[in-house]
Amino acid sequence: MLIKKQWGKGMVAVALGLAMTGGGVYSIHGSVAKASTITHNAAGTAQGGSDHRQTVHVYKHHGFQLTVQDKSGDPKLRPTINQLVKLYFHKYPDILSYWAGDNDDTHIKNVKLIIDADYDGVAYTVWQDKEVTVGADYIASHPDDIAFLTHELTHMAQAYPTYDNNTVWLTEGIADYSRYLFGPNGTEWRLPEFSEDQHYYDSYRVTARFLLWIEQHGHEGFVKELNNRLQENTYTIQDFETLTGQTVEELWAEYAQNPEVETHYN
Ligand SMILES: [Zn+2]
């Protein structure tokens, strides 16, 4: 998931947890959170009414930095958090060079990972703040799902200025396409087989598989081109036709006829 930040009075970040419903309509299920400055205090006491003591750890490696603020303070989460830290240093440099290319934002290699016991979703990213927030309950109950962080770090690399009804499905589709590319995919997470009730704008894995299909049917580099245009804020749905010679509907119709893709899960 991704959060779009809106600057307003007192720099309040408005969480727009946009999700697509079956009919192609977007609904808001997010909450409002204040953007606040958090002190890096290893012995800091928990904020936000939690009973646990939070911990803050800073990791550095090869020019990359990760600050982990564990607001849950739950020692049982340590092994999973360690896996997330490893993933960050193993995958993020590649994710960044693949999607961010010539991004000259000097802070992009300095990310904060917040483990939040009060957030009941999986994770969300505020790329403008270089922050990924992870639901403590989610990682407690899904210790084998590490690659959601690959999806979130892709949002960091995407840094698309716009996240609205025209782009959210594609933004999330590309993030899952990136998750497919970079993994680690284990044995659970898979791109779903095509089915008649899908639409290209279903987002996430459905869109990711469609993008992979386009790449494998004569348009290698297509997703990176879309990524460039989204970063430059020039993307429109017509770019499918500009880049492939076929409209998105035509591509989807062809995909529906012959939906086979070659997959390699890393
Ligand atoms: Zn996302």
43: CA distance to ligand 1 center in Å? 32
171: CA distance to ligand 1 center in Å? 7
pLDDT at 51: 52
Over range 15-37, report the average pLDDT.
29
Domain 51-158, CATH homologous superfamily name and number: Neutral Protease Domain 2 (1.10.390.10)
As a whole number of angstroms, the distance between CA 93 and CA 105 comes to: 14
Kindly state the DSSP code that residue 43 receives in the 8-state scheme. T
pTM: 0.82
- 35 pLDDT more than 80: no
2: CA distance to ligand 1 center in Å? 5
Output the six-digit token pair for 45. 């006491």
227: CA distance to ligand 1 center in Å? 14
Give domain limits for the chain.
51-158, 168-257
| Chain segment 128-167, per-residue pLDDT in tens | 999 999 999 999 999 999 999 999 999 999 999 999 999 9
| Chain segment 206-241, per-residue pLDDT in tens | 999 999 999 999 999 999 999 999 999 999 999 999
- Please count the helices (runs of H) and the strands (runs of E) in the chain: 8, 9
Residue among 157, 115, 107, 161 nearest 135 (CA): 115
